[in-house]
Structure 1
């Protein structure tokens, strides 16, 4: 994402992201395969939340208890509730699910497609890329115990296990190394006019190189 930040169009990206949210809430979370993965990696789906459960991308005007069982809908026994124009879209963040899939090694394309639909690459792809890099950074920054604690969640959603990053490419490692170097420069306040890039391109630096 950072590598092509100049070409990244956030307005073009957003409809794809919205499509991922709708698919996750309206279809994926009610499917047995997604429910099985979520149970195995110990993360609650939106409709399973004890407080403010979200069953669809359009919140019903009634109480959650009046909404048909998601399991029954997944089995085809009951229709999905119809949304009215006056119903506000549900607000659900996808980051916890992307993070949990990454650190448990379940972030394969087939699984991401099952969770977020056909638009997953355009919608949550940039976030997935960043979370994979963040996981590399976390592993480099802290011990296993600290990393696990970082990825644990409340409501008894502690992470059951950590797996090394899966299907890593050389390009991904090179990009992570570049971003890690930028972070180290940030720690040393080597930013702005003190950035290594600025110093390399400064007239004084060129003069020193020529003198050498």
Structure 2
């Protein structure tokens, strides 16, 4: 097992890095796909995790089950043999002799499974390795990083009910894959939270069309603060040199649309300063 797995969350090759090489990443991604389809989904440990988190594996899909990355040989008069797929380090060879640079015939995206692992707190290195094989660090950790950030965004945007709804779709292989439970993002590190906060501020700027010629001049510009009204509109205060308007602190609150209202306190209280006159 890779020594990097001794760390809780080894630093993945982030999609946002300037040095991220999509052509170098893609073969590892395909290797992870094949490992998941040909090996991991048939392992009792993988089946146990997916049963607990209520997501169907490809071979359990209704109507079009996927048991291997290549069509079963039984369709050509023979019996498909899973033992023909021998794991050799991180390089998979199919019975037809395809290497891990070939696109698998049966495409199964790992993203729904990564999402379910993240939201249930099972996105541990050992579990990711068991699902996606030796190439998981290079092949799927960029997606894990993105989905952990997306989970933070989903939780911040609309509250528990809305957040859970975003994750109820499962793998798409059936209509009974609703999410049984959610856990707060596990073992989040300050660097991860800081990067998510920065990305969230960029999204708020996008909502206000602060992109292109309107984009902030540098990435260290003050974050956007939003005041969302019940009618769905928003009011933004950006980088005011004299601070926020009287009564407003460096927080945001939201109301309406099924969302809760926050103003510096988790219990929904309005704080000591109150709102500006007329708001």
Q: TM-score, normalised by structure 1?
A: 0.82
Whether the aligned pair in 2 keeps the contact of 1:60 and 1:83 (CA below 8 Å) is no
Aligned to 1:180: 200
Determine which of 192, 202, 205 is the counterpart of 2:212: 192
Q: Take 2:54 and 2:46, find their aligned partners in 1: how far apart are those partners?
A: 12
User: What is residue 105 of structure 2 aligned with on the other side?
Assistant: 89
Structure-to-structure mapping, 1:1-212, within 5 angstroms: 1-4=14-17, 6-60=18-72, 62=74, 79-80=83-84, 83-84=95-96, 89-153=105-169, 155=174, 156-197=176-217
Q: 1:84 to 1:196 in 2, by over 3 A?
A: same
Q: Which runs of 5+ in 2 are unaligned?
A: 1-13, 86-93, 99-103, 222-240, 242-279
Cα separation, 1, equivalents of 2:108 and 2:35: 12
- Which whole-Å CA distance do the structure 1 matches of 2:192 and 2:109 have between them? 25
Q: Give the count of matched residue pairs.
A: 191
Between 46-55 and 8-17, the greater mean CA deviation after superposition = 46-55
**Cα deviation, residue 176, structure 1:** 0.2
Shift of 1:83: 3.8
Report the Cα offset of residue 143 of structure 1: 1.4
Aligned-pair distance for 1:79?
3.9
Compare the two structures and name the one with the higher strand fraction. Answer: 2
Partner Cα distance (1:31, 1:118) in 2: 16
Shift of 1:84: 3.8
TM-score, normalising length: structure 2: 0.63
Whether the 8 Å CA contact 2:120–2:182 is kept in 1: the answer is yes
Q: Looking at CA atoms only, which structure, 1 or 2, has the larger radius of gyration?
A: 2
**Considering only aligned residues, what root-mean-square deviation do their CA atoms show, in Å?**
2.6
Between stretches 46-55 and 182-191, larger displacement belongs to 46-55
CA drift at 1:199? 10
Q: How many angstroms apart in 2 are the aligned matches of 1:83 and 1:138? A: 42
CA distances 1:69-102 after superposition (whole Å, capped 9, x unpaired): xxxx8xxxx745874479x611111110000000
